[in-house]
Amino acid sequence: MLKRLERVTDDAAGRLSELFSNELPAALGAAGCDPVETESVWVQETERGTVTAFCVLQKNGRAHIAAAPFADFEELRAFLCASGAREVQGEAGLLAVLGVPVQTRCDLMRLQTPIRPEAETPFVTDGLDKVYDLLVTADSTPADADAKNAWVARNARGIFGGRTLLTAIYDETGAPVACAAADTFGDYAFLRDVASAPHCRKRGLARACVCTLCAILRERKKQIFLLAAENAAGFYRKCGFEKTDTIGLGNRKP
């Protein structure tokens, strides 16, 4: 039986991850549980109150879903159809069971071999708009004012709420040329937004940012994960990460 969690708060992701302590994709789905971006959070339970699945519905039309092997998949399929979600993210095998064609796949990776940073990089609390500009340049994607405002607002909330760490390296003009961010909840931390400026690559700057974050997060006893595209997995292996699962993103059939 699915039920909606009321009063989604900043610690909702932490509470959800505790329900699936051995289910890494579930923890990944919980990472998307932002109190501003989230529309609703649903939990599936048995008659005895055992949690078998949860789904985070976001305002952008994406659903993050995770389920135990004994979940009621027929109910989950019906729920997704009724939810209006256009995209579904979850463990690739789960999406296949739910009848969601997978368009893209990436590796869920976990830090296995900590590597000390060659040089600690500074943490960022302001100038977030410049870091966003770096991400857009590094990814060769068009700039978008609304996306920029949303990214800056999300990270500002996380940084000052103690849930987000952001580090960057700057050039002589004060412009960031490499960065990395991480969000924490419960015993988990997820690394994201790792980038370096095209003219500064192959110099170990992004790796320094990643290793600096991981060193701090390990001091805080966090299990550190990230999502990596196939062409980036080699870089993260050099940072001490290993693949644990395959995560898929697919469009739900109308």
Tokens of 233: 């997995």
Residue with more model confidence, 181 or 27: 181
For residue 23, is pLDDT > 70? no
Amino acid at 58: Q
d(CA 209, CA 180): 6
Domains and CATH numbers, the chain: 2-100 (no CATH), 111-245 (3.40.630.30)
Q: What is the mean pLDDT of residues 110-119?
A: 88
Q: How confident is residue 119, by pLDDT bands cut at 50, 70 and 90?
A: confident
Residue 241 has pLDDT above 60, yes or no: yes
Query: Of 216 and 37, which is predicted with more confidence?
Result: 216
Query: pTM value?
Result: 0.85
Q: Which residue has the tokens 């979600």?
A: 85
**Banded pLDDT at 77 (limits 50, 70, 90):** very high
Range among 35-39, 123-127, 160-164, 245-249 with highest mean pLDDT value: 123-127
> Whole-angstrom Cα distance, residue 166 to residue 122?
9
Residue 82 has what pLDDT?
92
DSSP H or E segment with residue 225: strand 223-228
> Two tokens at 217?
């997060």
Q: Which of 3-7, 29-33, 237-241 has the highest mean pLDDT?
A: 237-241
Work out the pLDDT band at 131, boundaries 50, 70, 90. Answer: very high
Give the pLDDT band of residue 31 (cuts 50, 70, 90): low
How confident is the model at residue 254, as a pLDDT? 65
241 or 37: which carries more pLDDT confidence?
Answer: 241
Confidence of residue 40 (pLDDT cuts 50, 70, 90): confident
Apex 58 CA angle, 192 and 12, nearest 5: 75
Span 166-190, pLDDT tens digits: 999 999 999 999 999 999 887 889 9
The radius of gyration of the chain's CA atoms, rounded to the nearest angstrom, is 18
pLDDT attached to residue 10 = 57
Segment 38-46 shows an average pLDDT of 87
